[in-house]
Amino acid sequence: MIVRVFKTGISQGESPVDYLMSDRDHTGQSRSVAPEVIEGDPGQTIAVINNIQRKHKYVSGAIAFRDNEQPSREQIREIVRSFKQTMCPGLGPGQFNSLFVLHRDKGNTEVHFIVPMVERTTGKQMNIHPPGKQNLQLYEAFTQVTNHRLGYAQVVPDPLKLALSNFKRYTAEGKADRSNKRYLHKRLTKAIRSGEIAGRDQLCDFLVEQYGVEITRRGQDYLSMKFPGAQKAKRFHGPFYRADADYRQLVQSARDRTVDRYLSSTEYRQAETALHQLVEARRQFNERAYLSPRMLRAQRIRLARSQPTNQPTELIKITTKENSMQKTPNQPADGQQGTESSPIKYENKSGVMRTIKMMRDQVVIGDRANMTSDFGIAGLMSGLADLESSINATVAEMNSARNPEQKAGAERKLMALMERKRRLELQLAGARRKQINLGKTTSIF
């Protein structure tokens, strides 16, 4: 069993749902077995997706089983339940929509899923497949643990499998030609197995000499190449395209994977522990992003004005580029010297730059144990949640870029957002340390 996530998600809801429910497959052939809804409502999923105004509207994919893996209906329902608890921990059924449809027309079992990218109580973006290494580790751990519990062999990637599905025919017409793709795949694999190609440099030379390919860029973990007649280059990732690729090791690994591999008891415990930790991290993020109460600016102002003069207060100022506010240092109280922390910037979902200026608590009664920083921590965590949404949106924008200029612009934007996130996390860590030093325990969830 393996979970595949498709590179789709920007169309209206009818497109993915109609495909899942259609009596014909992607080639137009009639399905030998009709699709079956395991969980969810197709009409409701369409409505939720169509109500999303953002460009990226849903995540779709499939939980696919090998031909010799025949899960029972009860096992399929348990896998769906486990998948939802793993990818959406901490969220109730009313907070997100999902659709799971069973396909068995290809001879094997596939459970296709669609999850709209929205948390329904807040309207915020919710992505069950965000970018980043931690998300990939979560899916990998889920796959390992599930296969072990079902008694299935583990999924071992084929290091000799080439990403040829994106290749286009290297002719003036530029049309896809499956026979050419299969031939090229077979030729490269044979050359690597025989030792004719021993490294990436030789692979590039082979492509240039044999197929007239132009290598436009050589990255640490990718190659960009353009075939004759193509308008633009394509970037390819994978073991073959890494600068440090060891082809002998790849060939040996390909031989080893022919034998079914199962987890030992120790390996299973390690995978299960990793899964629990990753799920807990995602649960905490979901609670911060969707469940923590947030105050509007007007509510914060009213709260500050309603504070008695003998109580410590904390002021949060929000400014925009159009209406910036001057720094106002804290006034000293009862002989205490006020200080001010550095501004932390973040970008909200609409792209408007904001500055949150966190002012230290004013000591009015001289008892530092009575000071509170709950409000500051909540504000910082809200900023992190918004920033995560912006990062997800920017990565999606980078992946869907239509030309190198758009992709480069999105990459620069992503780097800036990641730097803001780093600074904001440092500020949050400082606020928590301050809270601990004051001897007050505060729940942040």
How would you classify the pairing of strands 58-64 and 234-237? unpaired
Mention every residue, 6+ apart, whose C-beta is less than 8 A from residue 59: 5, 9, 114, 115, 117, 127, 128, 129
DSSP class of residue 336? B
Q: What is the predicted pLDDT for the residue at 303?
A: 64
59 beta partners: 115
In the prediction, which pLDDT does 68 show? 92
User: Where are the domains positioned within the chain?
Assistant: 2-156, 164-256, 293-437
pTM above 0.85, yes or no: no
How confident is the model at residue 158, as a pLDDT? 73
Which residue type sits at 130?
A: P
pLDDT at 162: 55
Burial (0-12, 13-18, 19+ Cβ within 10 Å), 156? middle
* Amino acid 146: pLDDT: 97
Question: Rounded distance, CA 295 to CA 303, Å?
Answer: 10
Task: Give residue for tokens 């910037």.
Answer: 345
Nearest-5° Cα angle at 250, 244 to 254? 160
Distance in angstroms (rounded) separating the CA atoms of residues 196 and 118: 51
Q: Are 76 and 36 in contact (CB under 8 A)?
A: no
Q: Are strands 214-218 and 110-116 parallel, antiparallel or unpaired?
A: unpaired
- Report the interhelical angle of 42-50 vs 14-21 (nearest 10°): 160
pLDDT for 297 equals 56
User: What is the CATH number that goes with domain 2-156?
Assistant: 3.30.930.30
Q: What is the pLDDT of residue 317?
A: 43
pLDDT of 19 reads 93
User: What is the C-alpha separation between 423 and 414, in angstroms, rounded?
Assistant: 14
pLDDT at 308: 59
pLDDT at residue 77 in the model: 97
Give me the pLDDT at residue 163, please: 53
pLDDT 10s per residue in the chain (445 long)? 999 999 889 999 999 999 999 999 888 889 999 999 999 999 999 999 999 999 999 999 999 999 999 999 999 999 999 999 999 999 998 999 999 999 999 889 999 999 999 999 999 999 999 999 999 999 999 999 999 999 999 998 777 665 544 444 343 443 454 565 567 667 877 888 888 888 888 989 988 988 888 999 999 988 888 878 878 888 777 787 888 888 888 888 777 777 788 999 999 999 999 999 999 999 999 999 998 766 555 655 666 666 655 544 444 444 444 444 444 444 444 444 443 434 444 444 444 344 334 333 333 333 333 333 444 677 777 777 777 778 877 877 777 777 777 877 887 888 788 778 878 878 877 777 777 766 544 443 3
Q: How far is CA 141 from CA 136, 154, 254, 281, in A?
A: 9, 11, 22, 14
- For residue 9, give the nearest of 128, 152, 187, 145 by alpha carbon: 128
According to the model, what pLDDT value does residue 298 have? 61
